[in-house]
Structure 1
């Protein structure tokens, strides 16, 4: 079985805790298939610029796209309308108060051109384990006592790898994202990993950088 466009054999992961070089990814960013979703393997993946993404009935698929969508905190863009939302204080932000509820909402969020969700029960269980170990974190947005938005991702200490966000009311997920970026930027974080390009992320200041640049960011604390 060959990778499309690169004429290289796909890597099938076994029980050993390892990944091939990200340079072996195909043109779509697919690097390897198989392996488990243990906390140890997931952390090794994120530390090396790799993340899992697959449908419920598929083998685990591991990706490292080139270019990589990244937001540098100092380049965050906040529109005038969102600045007014922030100033009105119509929302309240918390952190790590209901991680499981956030990931459940992210799994149910309807997205354009997406059928079903990649946040399968196996993914949920794996990230709950990472949360219990202090690596997976959530930001929650409240309107009064109602949870109306939020996001979660993997915290590497100097780079935050965003995984998914949800919103139940207008601007709630943007509120969470902007607040998170400002907090992490003030704490010295180098970048927010956004994985792949979307117009929404681009409007907030994220940009595509070469994968080599992103790997260098990961390797320097």
Structure 2
């Protein structure tokens, strides 16, 4: 395992251990975070731990051209229950992702330092959000890193039923319309699988990440 120094460097992703951890330490500066995402690496750690940098062997992704909206979700979208905006209130979205209570989790990995780091990336036009509104209240959303042809999803939240699904579907539709190669969802979970995500090997992910659109 590589210990990150002040040098702006990450080892090859193939050197990650069997759990997917590639490196430890470093900082959350915009340059380091952008290098990480462009290199197929993402930070994920508890607030009281050193920064852990990950590149798992199998990556959860969504290919926009393969994505099919379920009949039940189409019905929800057609009812116009929600209003969706893009990148209008990034700080509120990431703050809600940090504070929302999740089943099976005691706390959050989105610390205040993480919030400030990604808000800086948002100011630079790199981190972006999707907001879902109901009666002028923010009830769901997600955020991630926009690499131009790959969107790296980070976290989502929902205060009412289906709000995060609406954010997800709206994002994938936008990525499809703008010819993005894929939505990176990082690691498998059942919710993402139900939304159309599937795992691909790290080698295939890196080829897609590095290839020119």
TM-score tier, shorter chain, comes to over 0.9
- Looking at structure 2, the residues matched to 50 and 12 of structure 1 have their Cα atoms a distance apart, in angstroms, of 14
What is the CA distance between 1:217 and its match in structure 2? 1.1
Residue 77 of structure 1 contacts residue 203 of structure 1 at CA under 8 Å; is this kept in 2? no
Which residue pairs with 1:6 in the alignment? none
In structure 2, the residue corresponding to 1:164 is in which secondary structure?
strand
What is the CA distance between 1:191 and its match in structure 2? 0.2
Note the 1:177-188 alignment, pairs <5 A. 177-188=168-179
Which residue pairs with 2:6 in the alignment? 15
- Looking at structure 2, the residues matched to 77 and 109 of structure 1 have their Cα atoms a distance apart, in angstroms, of 28
Which residue pairs with 2:132 in the alignment? 141
**Superposed CA RMSD:** 0.8
Moved more, 74-83 or 10-19: 74-83
Which residue pairs with 1:197 in the alignment? 188
What is the CA distance between 1:95 and its match in structure 2? 1.0
Matched, 1:158 2:146: no
Question: Which of 197, 206, 209 pairs up with 2:200?
Answer: 209
- Looking at structure 2, the residues matched to 118 and 166 of structure 1 have their Cα atoms a distance apart, in angstroms, of 14
Matched, 1:176 2:150: no
Which residue pairs with 2:71 in the alignment? 80
What is the CA distance between 1:144 and its match in structure 2? 2.0
* Unaligned residue ranges in structure 2 (runs of 5+): none
> Alignment length, in residue pairs?
212
Which residue pairs with 2:20 in the alignment? 29
Residue 70 of structure 1 contacts residue 194 of structure 1 at CA under 8 Å; is this kept in 2? yes
- Looking at structure 2, the residues matched to 161 and 178 of structure 1 have their Cα atoms a distance apart, in angstroms, of 15
Question: Which of 27, 41, 44 pairs up with 1:50?
Answer: 41
- Looking at structure 2, the residues matched to 27 and 75 of structure 1 have their Cα atoms a distance apart, in angstroms, of 29
In structure 2, the residue corresponding to 1:119 is in which secondary structure?
coil
Residue 127 of structure 1 contacts residue 136 of structure 1 at CA under 8 Å; is this kept in 2? yes
- Looking at structure 2, the residues matched to 97 and 193 of structure 1 have their Cα atoms a distance apart, in angstroms, of 22
- Looking at structure 1, the residues matched to 83 and 128 of structure 2 have their Cα atoms a distance apart, in angstroms, of 17
Question: Which of 48, 52, 60 pairs up with 1:61?
Answer: 52
- Structure 1 residue runs of 4+, over 2 Å off? none
In structure 1, the residue corresponding to 2:27 is in which secondary structure?
coil
What is the CA distance between 1:113 and its match in structure 2? 2.1
Provide, for residues 74-114 of structure 1, a one-character-per-residue CA deviation record: whole Å limited to 9, x for no partner. 22232221110011111011011110000010001222222
- Looking at structure 1, the residues matched to 167 and 148 of structure 2 have their Cα atoms a distance apart, in angstroms, of 19
